[in-house]
Amino acid sequence: MLYIVPTPVGNLEDITLRALRILKEVDVIYAEDTRTSKKLMQQYDISTPLRSHHAHNENQEAAKIVEDILNGTNVALISDAGTPGISDPGYSLIKACAAAAVKIECLPGATAIIPALVASALPCNRFYFEGFLPHKKGRQTRLLYLAELPCTFALYESPHRLGKCLDQLIEHCGAERQAVVCREISKLFEEYARGTLAELSAKVVANELKSKGEIVIVVAGKEKEKKKKRYNKD
């Protein structure tokens, strides 16, 4: 079968006992970057063979991996950090396995979006996850859509684009919209910066908010416009 195994987004202690057992028991582990995954394997004495399965080869490799599984190979799929398929490679293989009636088992575990959302202190009973915005084509369209959402939304952003992204959110959502920039989740320098979009943008400019590490931006939903009361004339 195919096991989808989440791996820590920061602290290596965040991996589950079940994940460790499966990584030791399967015949092969497909990883986004074998160099990164070797650190986890060495930490927990996992000697299972590692092979590459990344964004540049996942479509070509999927059929071969499915064939191996159908021939009796147990496979684990991991990404550099978090859950495969969530803004990481993995979807093509998962889809191919489902189409071939391969048994798929996804373990619960690490992902950056949930701790960022919960710790943001913004409403999280309903939320929208955008992932990474398009760099060019379609970016404006997505921002316009997000700005009108009535619920909290979250997106991933690379460190060097943080300031630009906050400025674009200000343009579409307004400077006073509440937001939180979550950085280095589960790592030594974990940080949650809260405030309006304008305040957060100013912190980036003043270098008070470092544009380093993995970043999740959580933004409050658009507030409903208050209806004006109508008074009947006597």
Helix (H) or strand (E) holding 166: helix 162-173
* 2-106 and 113-219 share one fold: no
Q: Reply yes or no on whether the pLDDT at 87 is more than 90.
A: no
pTM score of the predicted model: 0.88
* Contact in structure between 97 and 90 (CB atoms under 8 Å): no
User: Tell me, what's the pLDDT at 188?
Assistant: 86
The domain covering 113-219 belongs, at the CATH homologous superfamily level, to Tetrapyrrole methylase, C-terminal domain (3.30.950.10)
Helices (H) and strands (E) in the chain, counts: 8, 10
* Contact in structure between 53 and 40 (CB atoms under 8 Å): no
- Residue corresponding to tokens 């021939």: 71
Q: What is the DSSP string of 64-103?
A: HHHHHHHTT--EEEE-SSB-TTSSSS-HHHHHHHHHTT--
Taking only the tens place, the pLDDT of each residue in 175-216 is 999 999 999 999 888 999 999 999 999 999 988 887 677 899
Taking only the tens place, the pLDDT of each residue in 207-222 is 888 767 789 999 999 9
- CA–CA distance, 129 with 148 (Å, rounded to integer): 14
DSSP 54: -
Q: What percent of the chain is predicted at pLDDT more than 70?
A: 96
* Contact in structure between 112 and 156 (CB atoms under 8 Å): yes
Domain layout of the chain by residue ranges: 2-106, 113-219
Determine how many CB atoms are found less than 10 A away from the CB of residue 131: 12
Taking only the tens place, the pLDDT of each residue in 40-65 is 999 999 999 999 988 777 778 899 99
Q: Is the dihedral of CA 98, 102, 108, 112 positive or negative?
A: negative
User: Tell me, what's the pLDDT at 130?
Assistant: 96
Chain Cα centroid distance, residue 87? 5
Conformational region of residue 94, where left means phi above 0, alpha means psi within -120 to 50, and beta covers everything else: alpha
When the pLDDT of each residue in the chain is averaged and rounded to a whole number, the result is 92
Q: Does domain 2-106 have CATH number 3.40.1010.10?
A: yes
Q: What is the DSSP string of 132-153?
A: EPPSSTTHHHHHHHHHT-SSEE
As a whole number of Å, the CA-based R_g of the chain is 21
User: Tell me, what's the pLDDT at 96?
Assistant: 95
